[in-house]
Chains A and B, each alone.
Chain A
Amino acid sequence: MAEKVLMKGNEAVAEAAIRAGCRLYFAYPITPQSELIEYMAKMLPKVDGTFVQAESEVAAINMVYGASGTGRRVMTSSSSPGISLKMEGISYIAGANLPAVIINVQRGGPGLGDIQPAQGDYFQATKGGGHGDYRLIVLAPSTVQEFADLADLAFDLGDKYRNPVMILSDGLLGQMMEPVEFKPAKTEEEMEELNKQHYDWCMHSNEDEPNHHHHEINSLEIDPLVLEQHVIKLGKKYDEITKNEQRHEEYNISKDNEVVVVAFGTAARIAKSAIDELQEEGISVGMIRPITVWPYPYDAIKNVLHDKVEKVVVCELNLGQMIEDVKLAVNGKLPVEFLGKVGGILFTPAEIKAKILDK
């Protein structure tokens, strides 16, 4: 067993990314993700990696585009307002079928908002944000350990599907310290394999004819019939991801559940406390915690709406965004109620309990 270390989420995800083979990182400072960029600035040079503090979020995501075009593992991170600036580049990365890992340590919005934890970027992450028909794979951790683990998964999924992957975290997960255990770092041989894995399409060293290649990293298809096929192909990829990559956690799910809670990330942590307290009081409440918020685990929710369940309660640190997906999953069979907090304020377990017990 590897040793457990006490770390902030921002640092843990950075360390996990380096261990996963990320040697290229481009970003711009913003609170509350500063420890992440600082960790990369300190640690990447020690593993012959490259850290560049870009002039803007826009430049950073375009550096990611260029680096990813060479087939190398690359990451950027930011917090909500900075993620908005990255949306142009994310659309191009998705359109060009490039893998990349983007971390959003969410804070309160809209606009400059504040620097406290929030989940107001759910729509932006899962429903678009940038222009055009594209999908991000979006992973939502709820502990520091999971934040680190998902970095590894994010790189693997990105490479597997040639698709950008976002880790949708928040200021609480970024700033809090918890014990975390890391996977071993990639060996030199594994790094060599990783670096060559995309040589059939990426930009890399060339040869004279007849082995000369001309690889294009591109999202432009000016002929509508060609673009049509390109986007249809993207759609098929998204179907495949939807089929294969849904992940969720079931908490206290049983046939005795009277209420099912759906929450992700930090909100789910708080809901767990409420569920534990209610269980002690003899009230059975289960929870589905989506880990992939895209692809969304609709069936996981549908499958736990057993006979005794009277309602579904959605808890989010926003005005109600994921609830739209929960309603799609529940499909009108049960009432879906909402508890939200905004402004970077967290709800307490007591508030969640009250919402669950509210008839």
Chain B
Amino acid sequence: MEIIAQRPKSLTDLQFTYCPGCTHGISHRLIAEAIDELEMRNQMMGVAPVGCSVFAYKFFDCDMAEAAHGRAPAVATGMKRARPDMHVFTYQGDGDLAAIGTAEIIHAANRGEHISVFFVNNAIYGMTGGQMAPTTLPGMKTSTSPYGRDETDIGYPIQACELLNSLRAPYFIERVSLLSPQDIIKAKKVVKKALQFNKEEKGFTFVEFVSTCPTNWGMTPLDAMKWAKENMLPYFPLGNFRDKSIEGGE
């Protein structure tokens, strides 16, 4: 019998702790598949965040560090500087990366640390129960913006790719979505590209996944995908922002 699909070697056999319909499982799998395909697993170290994906250190089957909230890029810096012969990635959510860890991500990117950052943007704090995130859309209701996000009071959602694209050092920045099978296939290619550049020691690589949170958005998974396409993609446009491997990609 021929095996045509199986769990990537870079994922452990633990059951995910994610809600039904959550996209974390998809992004985990895409990263793990790319690590396997690029044969980076035995030289890979990862950093898990605080948030819904806090247990990512149990799910990725390589050596992993669990960072304090927002500090993953600093932890990754320490790891990569200590072991420049190895590869390092971080996996972070929107509260982690774009609120409490804003300084760490900007400066790791600005130093051009040779790490890959995977950023999951679902516009809400999931694990703590649906509070407003730095990426929550204007007017969007959460448990800490019960009347809708008022951008005149609390500011506009932070666009992480655009923000990091103002820096000179990053090598690769792209925003993808996990909102349809086609988008997921495309996202896989982008993840693999980022990790390929990581393997080649090109510099700082950043991939943002526009994702959903059916549980805290109070929607079915399918409705959440539809809502995200209609509401998030206009504010968080998909596409490549930086690719220094191609001419004019800077």
Residues of chain A whose beta carbon lies under 8 Å from any beta carbon of chain B? 24, 26, 50, 52, 54-56, 58-60, 62-70, 72, 74, 88-89, 92, 96, 202-208, 212-220
A126 to B219, CA, bound (A): 50
Q: Give Cα A143–Cα B61 distance, bound, in whole angstroms.
A: 48
Nearest-CB distance from B99 to chain A (Å)? 14
CB distance from A57 to the nearest CB of B (A): 11
The complex places the Cα of A52 from the Cα of B114 at a distance, in Å, of 14
Q: Tell me if B63 and A59 are in contact (CB < 8 A).
A: no
- Candidates A24, A59, A220; contact of B74 at CB < 8 Å: A59
Q: Is the CB–CB distance between A62 and B104 below 8 Å?
A: yes
Give Cα A208 to B62, complex, Å.
Answer: 10
Sampled A-B contacts (26; CB under 8 Å): A24-B81, A26-B78, A52-B77, A52-B111, A55-B104, A58-B104, A62-B78, A63-B77, A65-B71, A65-B74, A66-B65, A67-B78, A67-B79, A70-B78, A89-B71, A96-B66, A203-B65, A203-B83, A204-B63, A204-B86, A205-B43, A206-B44, A215-B64, A216-B57, A218-B66, A220-B66
Contact at A58–B71, with CB atoms within 8 Å?
Answer: yes
Interface string of B46-87 (1 = CB under 8 A from A): 010000001001100111111110010011111111110110
B45 CB-CB contact with A under 8 Å:
yes
Shortest distance between the CB of B165 and any CB in chain A (Å): 19
Residues in B neighbouring A215, C-beta threshold 8 A: 63-64
Which of A92, A203, A213 interacts with B79 by CB under 8 Å?
A203
Q: Which residue of B lies closest to A55 (CB)?
A: B107
B42 contacts A66, CB within 8 Å? no
Q: In the complex, what residues of A have CB within 8 A of residue B47's CB?
A: 66
**CB-based contact A64/B64 at 8 Å:** no
B103 at interface by CB-CB < 8 Å: yes
Q: Which residues on B sit within 8 Å (CB–CB) of A54?
A: 74, 107
Residue in B67, B80, B86, B106 whose CB lies within 8 Å of A62: B67
Tell me the B residues contacting A by CB distance below 8 Å. 12, 41-45, 47, 54, 57-58, 61-68, 71, 74-83, 85-86, 103-104, 106-107, 111
The CA of A66 and the CA of B74, in the complex, are separated in Å by 8
The reply to whether B68 and A212 contact each other, CB–CB distance below 8 Å, is no
CB pair A24 B43 closer than 8 Å: no
* Nearest B-chain residue to A88, judged by Cβ: B68
Partner of A64, one of B43, B66, B78: B78
Q: How many A-B residue pairs have CB under 8 A?
A: 132
Top 8 closest pairs, chain A to chain B, by CB: A66-B78, A203-B63, A62-B74, A63-B78, A67-B78, A66-B75, A55-B107, A217-B65
CB distance from B152 to the nearest CB of A (A): 30
Contacts of B77 in A (CB 8 A): 26, 52, 59, 63, 66
A154: shortest Cβ distance to chain B, in Å? 18
Instruction: Give complex CA distance A228, B185 in Å.
Output: 44
B67 touches A213 (CB 8 A): no
Known A59-B71, A59-B103, A205-B42; judge A217-B64 contact (CB<8 A): yes
A206-B63 contact in complex given A70-B83, A74-B82, C-beta closer than 8 Å: yes
Report the minimal beta-carbon distance from A268 to chain B, rounded to whole angstroms: 35
Which listed residue, A52, A70, A74, A219, touches B66 by the CB 8 Å rule?
A219
> CB distance A203 to B75 under 8 Å?
no
B93 to chain A, nearest CB (A): 15
Given the complex of chains A and B, what is the CA–CA distance between A196 and B107 in angstroms? 30
A218-B103 contact in complex given A24-B82, A54-B74, A66-B77, C-beta closer than 8 Å: no
Chain A nearest CB: distance from B219 CB in Å? Answer: 27
Q: Are A58's CB and B74's CB within 8 A? A: yes
Closest Cβ–Cβ distance, residue B85 to chain A (whole Å): 7
- Which of A26, A66, A220 has the largest number of chain B CB atoms within 10 A? A66
Expressed in whole angstroms, the Cα–Cα distance for A207 and B39 within the complex equals 11
Closest A residue to B43 using CB positions: A205
B68 lies within 8 A of A62 (CB) = yes
> B68 touches which one: A67, A69, A92, A203 (CB < 8 A)?
A92
B41: chain A residues within 8 A (beta carbon): 206
